[in-house]
Structure 1
């Protein structure tokens, strides 16, 4: 079987590309990375330095005509988590206009306008997507599933914590695959028992096995009209009906609460450390240590707003320093810089307490060492990249399982 051609959107510094191309089954034919909040396009520069600038776009995806995007087999990307509500519909606009600046609709626009639609989608987001917005829990994900269904795609999803499958960071994200009705995978999913697909037969379950029994399941159908769905889905303000695993076929949703099943090697924070070679600037000096201890510690105190209003504030303590015999906490975008912080990682070494290096942060996301090292890119910016990145190992395993499933099904069709 030939390599699958990939279009990578919201590419960042190339986590999807690293994961997919490491399988030997995928080839990125076009990519886009554009950061709206800065003139200096640091992530795009790193991407171009690592993979080349040919067929790489550093333009706002909303302004890129679909005609400029080459045909591809699979569209991938970790798109921003935003408000996905539907603004209006127009008869002459393919039935849909989402809010300007909401980049989900750029994906939708490409899928709607492509004559040769990609057969597969592979997308990633924060797991709160299943529960947003707070006033209509689950509405945003319902809009995505229904809009993809209207475009001819079936979807399977799973919330995956990388550490629960042996990877060195506790990073919980939702990954979802979509299959166009012209694909053999769509046909197989449509014919399968929903619970069997989610638990054993599906692509994500083959990459990341589950315990055999789901704790609970739900079935419901999404109305076809996106405007009505946007206004009315779960308007009663109850909990989201979407659980951590599920599928949606022809607007019909099956979702279940599942548990991971893994008995392999479990990587921990200590495995990624640059023992003896970390930069001296990472070490915490005695003068700033009390501030670190205060921020990491428990608190119960009276605070005052700028307007003079007093209120009670309390929070629990954090492990300080971070445990080396456990997977790390989730990297955040503010991980870099010397200033004391409650959320930055601090490790105890033979030379004292220190923050994590850019290389160690890359290793926690399973990137190659110094992937983000480039002239003009600060260590704080490199940390920011990793706070935004995904765990490459998750993409690699799902990508390999997807290719294998496609290969098996296509061979069955030919025989």
Structure 2
């Protein structure tokens, strides 16, 4: 298996962050899908095709793609949307339980359920809020997800990773999961080893992103089917039982808090700037400065709702302009465009205050320069892509560790 490529299907592909990270190791994307439901022009898919070619790329609503049209693969990857994963009803047919239509988690579930040759590995990403949602039953959505993967024969390891804590140029916190099918040697190894040792030393995540603290693991038994978990999980609890690190195997969850351990080089916002090459439209007009100052500043004021109801509003100030000697704040989808905003990045350059360019936003996510540049795609749209993207360096490091494990074990 020395040079055998690991076959990957990439769902919710966006502009290809997973692919860029995985192709640094011996992975081959055999099929990809990107579909934006709310827009007629499929901009992200166009960028993906321009960079990686049209072959084996699908720009069709994934919910309508028959499983038989997706080629067999060893690894299924994707950053799926954070939605309500609750299960509404039990069906009395062989299909068992099904979640709500339009919730894309159940599309992943369907593919895993219907594939005769199931992928042996999963590598998925989401916002870390998933571990705590919904507010009325903290952690319920994640419990539904874990139990549904347990039913399909997978063990799941997860970790919340903030890219900047491992030297990358953006403070972007996301939860990453790896699923191991019970037929893999890795799954068999997890069964035999101490779960704490796996999570802090030997596991894929701990090897890719070391932690410096041992943890006292809490055990949670996932009991009941998906409807029962939907209705009953953590009904009384104010806090989610799921911490930033954990593993689920055979319906048992082991979870605790870890602290990153990293003393390597660090990239900061100042390192990625395109100074000297920036065109005028990114500079803030002096007349607009008061607006930026107001939005970035602290506020205590009385505001009115549309119905005329008055309430006290308060918020703290943001660093303005952004500090160049630290990793940047998280890029959001509304990063582009000229209008003043509390959340857009602003840097001080030799020619005055300015917003970040599309290339700088790409660099903060560790994409190649001009990856999203394409005729007909505006700078605002390019910024939107980066607000939705992931930090490629995180995918690369986890992908590398996972590859070594697959090569050596399976």
Cross-structure match for 1:388: 388
Q: Measure, in 1, the Cα distance between the counterparts of 2:288 and 2:389.
A: 29
Q: Report the Cα distance in structure 1 between the residues aligned to 2:279 and 2:359, rounded to whole angstroms.
A: 11
Structure 2 Cα separation of the partners of residues 147 and 103 of structure 1 = 14
Q: What's the counterpart of residue 115 of structure 1? A: 116
In the alignment, does 2:377 pair up with 1:373? no
CA deviations on 1:31-73 (whole Å, 9 max, x unpaired) are: 0000011111000000011001111111110000000000000
Aligned partner of 1:85 in structure 2 is: 86
Q: Which residue of 2 aligns with 1:327?
A: 327
Runs (4+) of structure 1 exceeding 4 A deviation are: none
**2:135 matched to 1:134?**
yes
Distance, in Å, in 1 between the alignment partners of 2:214 and 2:98 is: 40
CA distance in 1, matches of 2:198, 2:95: 32
How many angstroms does 1:94 deviate by? 2.2
- How big is the shift at 1:238? 2.1
User: 3-state SS of the aligned residue for 1:84?
Assistant: coil
1:249-283, Cα deviation, whole Å (9 max, x unpaired): 01100001000000000110001100100121000
TM-score (norm 1): 0.97
5+ residue gaps, structure 1, are 411-415
Name the structure 2 match of 1:5.
7
TM-score w.r.t. the length of structure 2 is 0.98
Per the alignment, residue 76 of structure 1 pairs with: 77
State the shift of 1:405 in Å: 1.2
Counterpart for residue 363 of structure 2: 363
**TM-fit CA distance, 1:93:** 4.3
Please say if residues 160 and 174 of structure 1, whose CA atoms lie closer than 8 Å, have aligned partners that are also in contact: yes
Structure 2 residue 289 is the aligned partner of structure 1 residue 289: yes
Q: CA deviation at 1:318?
A: 0.4
Does the 8 Å contact 1:224/1:251 carry over to 2? no
What are the residue-to-residue correspondences of 1:148-227 with 2, within 5 Å? 148-214=149-215, 216-227=216-227
Give how far 1:191 is off: 1.1
Report the counterpart of residue 409 of structure 1 in structure 2.
409
- 3-state SS of 2:333 partner: coil
1:15, 1:389 within 8 Å by CA — same for their partners in 2?
Answer: yes
User: By how many angstroms is 1:212 displaced?
Assistant: 3.5
SS at match of 1:196: helix
What is the Cα deviation at residue 384 of structure 1? Answer: 0.3
For the aligned residue pairs, the C-alpha RMSD in angstroms reads 0.8
